[in-house]
Amino acid sequence: MIPPSFAYHRPKSVNEAVALLADLGEDARPLAGGHTLIPMMKLRLAAPEHLVDLAAIAELKGIRQDGNDLLIGAMATQHELIASDLVAAKVPLLREAALLIADPQVRYVGTIGGNVANGDPGNDLPAVMMCLNAVYHAIGKGGAQQLAAREFYRSVYSTALEASEIVTAVRIPLPPPGHGSAYEKLKRKIGDYATAAAAVVLTRSGDRIATCSIGLTNVAETPLWAEEAGKILVGSTLDGATVKKAIAAAEAITSPASDRRGPAHYRTKMAGVMLARALARAYAHAA
Ligand code: FAD
């Protein structure tokens, strides 16, 4: 289907983009890779009168280390995350999750900013960001602010961003050397969104888990940070009884819809299975 007509704007700076979005108000939407927004416009599920394309804004690009953090420009593509040696060395979880997004054609164009700002619980990076305790840098007509990923998601397509605000960068505190991580995603076929997925980052002290953070994708109206499940695992050797308790705690916070990916009960159980697999791999990788 052809999308409704719209005016196209291509600002060269963040300030220009923010001014445009503030002036144009509710009728304008930022455009990043367009791999969610354009299909939604074609399906007439979105009909913005103005698109403010962020593609020409150099400030929004790049991936670099900033002290003990990884700082990723909102317009870095998912392919750039996968190709980055820095990401592979310091935050392998991010590379692993990005590799499971859609297919190479989507990843060449889809951006990290679009993926985290979109507010779709089916997107893979939001739960990963919650697991990593990332912070989103945002700017709008009210000025700049930093928003914790763990508090960002309100409901389906609803986030803490104001209408005129854009995400400019994602800041990820580097997990300590020797940490283990894994992202396990169940999908019906290559290129599909998750039926359920789990992200884990943990550290070990000898055989015991010292810290553990867990994110869950597409099993509620928002991505989830399974705080209680992570706490249960701390101090354990990943023994069967403790894993069972942690999985029960993670499953208890899910509330997936029944849809063509399966009934709600099945998707909750698959979140548990993905979590068990991710925990085992992360534990094995941790030093
Ligand atoms: P756009 O489509 O341009 O924007 C998405 C939304 O975010 C819009 O509302 C836009 O206004 C807003 N936005 C964009 N950038 C910003 C910003 N910097 N600040 C504030 N708001 C902003 N994703 C997955 O995670 N996993 C999958 O398995 C997956 N499979 C897919 C399969 C197909 C066939 C397709 C077409 C897409 C798939 N996607 C999947 C989605 C893909 O990752 C998108 O690229 C991503 O969700 C949105 O990023 P974008 O850069 O394309 O954003």
Q: What is the DSSP string of 142-177?
A: TEEEEEEGGGTEEETTEES--TT-EEEEEEEEPPPT
| Alpha helical stretches, state H, the chain | 14-24, 37-42, 78-83, 85-90, 92-99, 104-109, 112-117, 125-131, 227-233, 240-252, 264-285
Where, residue-wise, is CATH 3.30.390.50 in the chain?
181-285
Where, residue-wise, is CATH 3.30.43.10 in the chain?
7-52
pLDDT (tens digit, 0 to 9) for every residue of the chain, 287 residues total? 788 899 999 999 999 999 999 999 989 999 999 999 999 999 999 999 999 999 999 999 999 999 999 999 999 999 999 999 999 999 999 999 999 999 999 999 999 999 999 999 999 999 999 999 999 999 999 999 999 999 999 999 999 999 889 999 999 999 999 999 999 999 999 889 999 999 999 999 999 999 999 999 999 999 999 999 999 999 999 999 999 999 999 999 999 999 999 999 999 999 999 999 999 999 999 98
Q: How many CB atoms lie within 10 A of CB 231?
A: 14
Where, residue-wise, is CATH 3.30.465.10 in the chain?
60-172
CATH of region 7-52, choose from 3.50.50.60, 3.40.50.1370, 3.30.43.10, 3.40.50.1980 = 3.30.43.10
Substitution candidate for ligand 1 out of 35, 107, 152 with most atoms within 8 A of CB = 35
**156 Cα: distance to centroid of ligand 1 (angstroms):** 14
CB of 193 within 6 A of ligand 1: the answer is yes
CB of 31 within 6 A of ligand 1: the answer is yes
Nearest atom in ligand 1 to 165's CA: 20
Q: What is the DSSP letter of 25?
A: G
In angstroms, the CA 66 to CA 3 distance is 40
Domain topology for 60-172: 3.30.465
Per the CB < 8 A criterion, the answer to whether 49 and 28 are in contact is yes
**What local confidence, expressed as pLDDT, does residue 3 receive?**
86
The CATH-assigned architecture of domain 181-285 is: 2-Layer Sandwich (3.30)
- pLDDT tens digits for 63-83? 999 999 999 999 999 999 999
CB of 114 within 6 A of ligand 1: the answer is yes
What are the angstrom distances between the C-alpha of 160 and each of 102, 147, 225, 261? 26, 8, 16, 28
**What local confidence, expressed as pLDDT, does residue 34 receive?**
96
**What local confidence, expressed as pLDDT, does residue 163 receive?**
83
**104 Cα: distance to centroid of ligand 1 (angstroms):** 14
The 10 Å CB-count burial string (b at 16+, else e) for 117-134 is bbbbbbbbbbbbbbbbbb
The sheet carrying 28-31 orders its strands as: 7-9, 50-53, 28-31
226 residue type, one letter: A
**118 Cα: distance to centroid of ligand 1 (angstroms):** 6
